[in-house]
Amino acid sequence: MLDDLDPVVPLPETIYGFCRFLLNEHRRVFAWLFLLGFLVAGADAMVAVFIGKLVGLVGQSDRQVAWDAQWPTLLGLLMVIGVIRPILIWLDLYWRNARLIPGVTTRMRWISHWYVIRQRWGFFQGQSPGQLAHWVMQTPGAIREVAESALRAVWYLGMYGLTSLVLLANADWRLMLPLIVWLVVYVLLLQYFVPKMRALANHNAEQYSHLLSELSDIYGNVLAVRLFGIAATSDERIRTRLRAHEQSQANQMGAVTGLIASLTWLNTFLLVVTAIIGGWLWLHGMVAAAAVAMALPLVWQIAGTGGWVAFEVAGIYQNLGEIRQGMSVIAASNPDLQDPHSDKLQVTHGEIEFESVSFGYPDGAPVLDNFSLRIAPGEKLGIVGRSGAGKSTLMALLLRLVEPDKGRILIDGQDISQFDAGSVREQMAVVTQDVSLFHRSLRENLLCGAGDAREEQLLEALRQADAEHFVAALGNGDPLQGLDTNAGERGSRLSGGQRQRITLARAWLRRAHILILDEATSALDSETEREVLTQVDTLREGMTVISIAHRLSALRGMDRILVMDAGRILESGSHAELLARDGLYGRLWRHQSVRQHSQDSPKEHQLSTSSIETLNRTDT
């Protein structure tokens, strides 16, 4: 049921096509509900027929003759009402509650997640994780509710109304006139109130979302609220949002009240006029009492069902609005769909080459233009440069998080665009500046690097990353017990340095041919950085290494260092060579050395944007 999907089929971008795609494989469930809705409506109508027959029987003067003539019909109706109808209702509830709600909804949520997680990296840069999770969970539920409401309410009322019209017309065509008028006015009321209720419901949902966002923002920044003494301002912002939500909710409930009041008058008209016409026809001998007794419960059932259906229709329109919003996330037009039959990249040496690569983000200027670079197998390459120089873009291109506009990227002479993206990333171990861990145990976080790692390998990875001591402290002196500690939301239970050590240990477990360090020691103080870099030297033996750093001390041991700016290589050479040239790198090194102070700080030796801009101006 939760198997993989065809990864080369994009989701439709129209609301009808989108809903049909998600519901298509559940045709059997909806076929049963379609049939059962028709049968239940017919069985419910038989209740009124039974009442009419029974009243007609009671009114007969010769009871025995009437009983002898009517008992087979009454017995058949009793079988329908007392046996068949409960079975049909049970089957309808079974297919709806046991098959449609859990099974169909779960499958649609799986499909939604499957496509969202395969969106391109840039897609996630502009999305809130909470909102993504919300739409993955809510959109399938909204689609299921639309389909369910259409079958359960609209289809039921249509079938019951049609059956009632046939029964009333069979008794006397004049008995069905009030029902026809009721249906016409009912449709007009829906046309007036439903769009209004939908707009008000959307506005209320929007105000609720603003309120929730405001509360989350304040709770998430409660320290700033207290430190800056802005509690009163925060209270006023919440008060404003609450009042706006209160007003929008009052407007929505006002429309609901108007619909209920209108339906109450309309239903009263239906019942009273049907009774008047039925009584007049009976008084003039045109219909039997049984026909009037049948007509009244028929129209009463329709009147009661009409209010329910009206709210179901309003719910359908409201859910369609949610589906439209969810589609913008789930059915985004640029998913990173991979052909399952693509070849898997195999790396034996770790040679990397950027061959005339050009790249620019859709909403910005080009980052790289005809950029070329060769990294020899086993070479340790350091890259420095200010923000926007193109350093992280190089890594994103190499990891196939984004695709080049022109040119090729080769690993061991193989164009990585021709291989499965997952297999390309499997050949690399990555430690990034944005150190975030899963809300799981440390053990599970480490096993992301190698799912089949044994306990002794986990312990060795901790030693290599200088993480064994703090993990052991979490487990009362036992590192294996400490590995069962939950890392917290995005690793919140650990310090920045501890999180970074865990990611280094995870990279060590990967034992890939290529190691990428993107500010891998940025959260560490200088002393700890030196200790970890010593361990990194062991980790990177035999690997091709690309290390991005603002702190130049982290790059001293590199075979080659590139100084980049605006997507170009300004300088290239070893640490000693670059110092000897006394160019930009040399001045940066001296600048950071002067700024060093006796008390270590996680931010010492940082290569700030302002400092490099100043040095660039000096260089020119």
Q: What is the CATH number of the domain that holds 264?
A: 1.20.1560.10
- Residue 394 pLDDT > 80: yes
222 vs 608, more confident: 222
At a CB cut-off of 8 Å and minimum separation 6, what does 125 contact?
Answer: none
Same structural domain, 225 and 357 = no
CA of residue 542 relative to chain centroid, distance: 41
- Residue 18 pLDDT > 60: yes
Domain annotation covers residue 344: no
Residue 103 pLDDT class (50, 70, 90 cuts): confident
Domain annotation covers residue 346: no
pLDDT, tens digit, 9 for 90 and up, residues 308-322: 888 788 788 778 878
242 vs 294, more confident: 242
Query: What pLDDT, on the 0 to 100 scale, is given for residue 229?
Result: 80
Same structural domain, 362 and 302 = no
Query: What pLDDT, on the 0 to 100 scale, is given for residue 583?
Result: 84
Identify whether the C-beta of residue 149 lies closer than 8 Å to the C-beta of residue 339: no
Q: What are the residue ranges of helices labelled H in 465-495?
A: 468-474, 479-482
- Least reliable range by pLDDT among 119-123, 177-181, 220-224: 119-123
Query: What pLDDT, on the 0 to 100 scale, is given for residue 273?
Result: 93
- Least reliable range by pLDDT among 3-17, 312-326, 473-487, 496-510: 3-17
Q: What torsion, rounded to 10 degrees, do the Cα atoms 554, 560, 566, 570 define?
A: 120
pLDDT, tens digit, 9 for 90 and up, residues 188-239: 998 898 888 888 888 887 888 788 888 888 887 888 888 888 888 899 999 9
Domain annotation covers residue 469: yes
Same structural domain, 112 and 247 = yes
Domain annotation covers residue 213: yes
Closest CA to 521 of 591, 588, 435: 435
Q: How many residues appear in the chain?
A: 620
Identify whether the C-beta of residue 420 lies closer than 8 Å to the C-beta of residue 342: yes
Q: Which of 274, 304, 333 is the last residue of a domain?
A: 333
The per-residue DSSP string of 29-83 comes to: HHHHHHHHHHHHHHHHHHHHHHHHHHHHHHT-SSHHHHHHHHHHHHHHHHHIIII
Closest CA to 506 of 467, 543, 472: 467
Closest CA to 30 of 15, 44, 20: 20
The two structure tokens encoding residue 540: 């990177």
- Least reliable range by pLDDT among 62-76, 197-211, 419-433: 62-76
Same structural domain, 121 and 29 = yes
Same structural domain, 201 and 242 = yes
- Residue 24 pLDDT > 70: yes
- Least reliable range by pLDDT among 135-139, 170-174, 220-224: 220-224
Same structural domain, 368 and 403 = yes
Same structural domain, 321 and 405 = no
Same structural domain, 87 and 154 = yes
Question: What is the CATH classification number for the domain harbouring 357?
Answer: 3.40.50.300
Domain annotation covers residue 281: yes
Query: What pLDDT, on the 0 to 100 scale, is given for residue 152?
Result: 77
Query: What pLDDT, on the 0 to 100 scale, is given for residue 59?
Result: 61
Q: How many other CB atoms are there within 10 angstroms of residue 229's CB atom?
A: 8
CA-to-CA dists, residue 117 to 113, 123, 337, 400, angstroms: 6, 10, 10, 15
The per-residue DSSP string of 516-576 comes to: EEESTTTTS-HHHHHHHHHHHHHHTTTSEEEEE-SSGGGGTT-SEEEEEETTEEEEEE-HH
Query: What pLDDT, on the 0 to 100 scale, is given for residue 424?
Result: 86
CA of residue 409 relative to chain centroid, distance: 32
At a CB cut-off of 8 Å and minimum separation 6, what does 275 contact?
Answer: 292, 296
Beta-sheet pairing, 366-375 with 514-518: unpaired
Query: What pLDDT, on the 0 to 100 scale, is given for residue 473?
Result: 85
Domain annotation covers residue 160: yes
Q: What's the domain range around 363?
A: 352-593
Domain annotation covers residue 83: yes
- Residue 66 pLDDT > 70: no
How many Cα atoms are found within 13 Å in the side-chain-facing hemisphere of 619?
16
Same structural domain, 244 and 313 = yes
Same structural domain, 412 and 301 = no
Mean pLDDT of 398-427: 87
- Residue 613 pLDDT > 60: no
> Could you give the CA distance from residue 415 to residue 355 in angstroms, rounded to a whole number?
10
pTM over 0.75: no
Highest mean pLDDT range out of 92-96, 180-184, 611-615?
180-184
The two structure tokens encoding residue 553: 């001390």
pLDDT, tens digit, 9 for 90 and up, residues 493-532: 887 778 878 888 888 887 788 888 887 666 566 666 666 6
> Could you give the CA distance from residue 384 to residue 396 in angstroms, rounded to a whole number?
16
Same structural domain, 535 and 587 = yes
- Residue 333 pLDDT > 60: no
Same structural domain, 61 and 127 = yes
Q: What torsion, rounded to 10 degrees, do the Cα atoms 570, 574, 575, 577 define?
A: -80
Beta-sheet pairing, 560-565 with 380-385: parallel
Domain annotation covers residue 250: yes
Number of domains in the chain: 2
